[in-house]
Structure 1
Amino acid sequence: MQITQLDEKVSVCGQIAPEIMRALAEHGFRSIICNRPDGEEPGQPTWAEVEAAARNAGLEARNIPISSMEDIAARKGDFAQAIDEMPGPVLAYCRTGNRSGRLYEAAKA
């Protein structure tokens, strides 16, 4: 898995599996944000599965699904608020990390 650090508090990556939550916590992450809608692709873990595993690993978790550029514009305030409220470092993910990165840029603009 490729993790890209965007600033001192936020990193992004592609899809994460529930079974790696403990490793993410051991790596130093304290929160995760899911930017991927459930059911986008066959076989992807559901938000409920990811959230349960994250909480079991001691991570805070939020779901801010993004499926289009319009969603990015509409949800950038939610993302900014989550980053402000959640303990860092925060790992945001989607299918490839691109939407999460775009959402971060929109929230910072």
Structure 2
Amino acid sequence: MPVIPVTETLAVGPQLTVDDMADLAAAGYTTVVNNRPDGEQPDQPESDDLRAAADRHGLTFLHQPVVDGEITQAQVDAFARTLAHSDGPVAAFCRSGKRSVTLWALANSQTADIDALVATASAAGFDLTDLLDKTVHLRGR
């Protein structure tokens, strides 16, 4: 199961498979968020197949696709709602995990210190040194 804990309630990672859903459920995750658009790469599993596997293991599955470099405020808000309303830990994934961790950081950027968010992401292995620029761009400042 290739997810990396970012916080006590969120782990992110690269592309998950149908087989990973059983491992996520056994590890205590309750929600899986797919941040990849279907068809981004020809060899990736379809969201419908992942959803069916998640359902079989009692996981909530959400497909919230984000195009790399084109995150919108609506997508950030949807991800924040998912985190706020999940009844347990969330595992989010994309191609590498960076889009998912970026969504988390942007969702928290109005209430948490940017440097602390960057440090938390860095501790999980993700470089978000451009987070301030992304927040400024996202909010149109």
Do they fold alike, i.e. is TM over 0.5? yes
**C-alpha separation in 2, matches of 1:72 and 1:94:** 16
**C-alpha separation in 2, matches of 1:24 and 1:37:** 21
1:99 corresponds in structure 2 to 99
Counterpart check, 1:6 vs 2:6: yes
1:42 corresponds in structure 2 to 42
Bigger proportion of residues as strand:
1
Does the aligned pair in 1 maintain the 2:9–2:88 contact within 8 Å? Answer: yes
TM-score (norm 1): 0.93
**The structure with more radius of gyration:** 2
Counterpart check, 1:69 vs 2:66: no
- State the structure with bigger RCO (CA 8 A, min sep 6), 1 or 2: 1
**C-alpha separation in 2, matches of 1:66 and 1:42:** 17
**C-alpha separation in 1, matches of 2:60 and 2:50:** 11
Q: How far is 1:72 from its partner?
A: 4.4
**C-alpha separation in 2, matches of 1:2 and 1:58:** 19
Q: Which ranges of structure 1 fall in alignment gaps of 5 or more residues?
A: none
* Structure 1 segments (4+ residues) deviating >2 Å: 68-74
* Identical pairs, percent: 35
**C-alpha separation in 2, matches of 1:72 and 1:46:** 23
C-alpha RMSD of the superposition: 1.3
TM-score (norm 2): 0.73
**C-alpha separation in 1, matches of 2:5 and 2:72:** 20
Q: How many residues align?
A: 109
Q: Which ranges of structure 2 fall in alignment gaps of 5 or more residues?
A: 110-141
Does the aligned pair in 1 maintain the 2:5–2:12 contact within 8 Å? Answer: yes
